[in-house]
Amino acid sequence: MFEQEINNFTKLWLCIIISLCYCYSIGKTKIIPKGTARLLCFLPVICLFLSVPLNLSSLHLGGTTAFFIAWLANFKLLLFALGKGPLSPPSLSLPRFLSIACLPIKIQQNPTLNSLNGQQTITNNAIKILLFVLLLRIYDYSDRIHPTIMLVLYSFHVYVVLEMVLALVASMARALLGLELEKQFDEPYLSTSLQDFWGRRWNIMVTNILRPTVYEPVRDKASRFIGRKWAPIPAVFGTFVVSGVMHELMFYYLGRVWLTWEIMWFFLLHGACLTVEIAVKKAAVGVKWRLPRAVSTPLTVGFVMFTAFWLFFPPLLRCRADERSLEEYAALGAFIKKVTALTLRSFQF
């Protein structure tokens, strides 16, 4: 079963690379000008990318492909069709085009700064991996642990898995292409506000792709009616609406169950709260009063976790994401042992 999934995964990614080469040839050779004509040429690829995750049943391979391709790559192609976004620079080579298109990466503008923090990043990742291994052992005793504590552990699980996947992607890009990449997470557990959490610390790649595709167009349109000062408010809420729709789609890929829209309500709630926060800050221009970090950080993180326990995790658990992830780790371990045994046996001959 796992070997078949690996086989399907390999074939699908080969198809993805070929499709992106087609988009590169259209955009970089300027055969078709940017705009509606180029977008129509990209539509078959965009539709293909939306259907690709349906051919994978595993939580990790299917979920990763859905996030990288059905969401990020499609949004980047939409920008590329209009001559914008990370894929549009004329000097971008095909290998870099493919890497940026299908992976959640953004090239670091100040690689010296990134290299100075390299040792700290390696240390932090090592600590998180050790904690993750410990977490897997704790799951063996889940029937003896209070459900609320289990939800906290699931929160940590989601965060660490995303961190490890994105760190692996960054390592691959660094080794194969010599690229230094920007951080995808910036210690979100230290957030002092919702604006700090969603805008600067949590899954920065998603923020960077939603900003030009949703936030900026809505802000520019809204500024004609309510002025530049207040235009960010509907733009922020519109961004959370689109993010909610895309997260619902990601959850459908993971569970293949009918949508309950709890995820959508989670993002609508956070979008509404964040717009209120921004409105209050704009109305209080010149007022420098702020809550101490010792107060604002627990309030922010506590609100995020409480709403996640209420709306985000229930649909995830209903599709047995916790059980399936453990089953996939076991299957991966068995697969690695089998490949290692076959490799050692081949060397003996």
Q: What would the pLDDT profile of 120-134 be if each residue is shown by its tens digit?
A: 566 666 777 787 788
Half-sphere exposure of residue 269: CA atoms within 13 angstroms, side-chain side: 14
- Choose among 244, 246, 238: nearest CA to 215: 238
Q: Which residues pair with 181 in a beta bridge?
A: 107
Separation between Cα atoms, residue 102 and residue 49, nearest integer Å:
10
- Choose among 260, 264, 250, 257: nearest CA to 307: 264
Contact 170, 98 (CB under 8 A): no
Write the CA distances from 311 to 135, 255, 264, integer angstroms. 23, 16, 9
The whole-model pTM stands at 0.86
Indicate the burial class of 213 (C-beta count within 10 angstroms; 0-12, 13-18, 19 or more). Answer: buried
Q: What is the pLDDT along the chain (349 residues), one digit of tens a residue?
A: 677 888 899 999 999 999 999 999 998 877 788 889 999 999 999 999 999 999 998 888 899 999 999 999 999 999 999 989 889 888 888 988 998 898 887 766 555 444 445 555 666 667 777 877 888 788 878 888 888 888 888 888 888 888 777 777 777 777 776 666 667 788 889 999 999 999 989 988 889 899 999 999 999 999 998 888 889 999 999 999 999 999 999 999 988 888 889 999 999 999 999 999 998 888 766 556 677 888 999 999 999 999 999 998 888 888 887 788 878 877 777 777 776 777 777 666 5
Separation between Cα atoms, residue 34 and residue 309, nearest integer Å:
44
pLDDT at 286: 56
Q: Is the dihedral of CA 187, 188, 194, 200 positive or negative?
A: positive
pLDDT at 347: 66
pLDDT digits (tens, 9 = 90+) for 201-227: 998 888 989 999 999 999 999 999 888
User: Which long-range CB contacts under 8 A does 271-277 form with residues at least 24 apart?
Assistant: 271/236, 271/237, 271/239, 271/240, 271/241, 271/244, 272/237, 273/194, 273/303, 274/194, 274/195, 274/198, 274/236, 274/237, 274/240, 275/233, 275/234, 275/236, 275/237, 277/193, 277/194, 277/195
Q: Which two tokens stand for residue 204?
A: 């920065």
Write the CA distances from 258 to 57, 66, 139, 233, 318, integer angstroms. 16, 17, 28, 31, 11
Q: What are the boundaries of each domain within the chain?
A: 1-104, 107-183, 189-344
What percent of the chain lies above the pLDDT cut of 90?
40
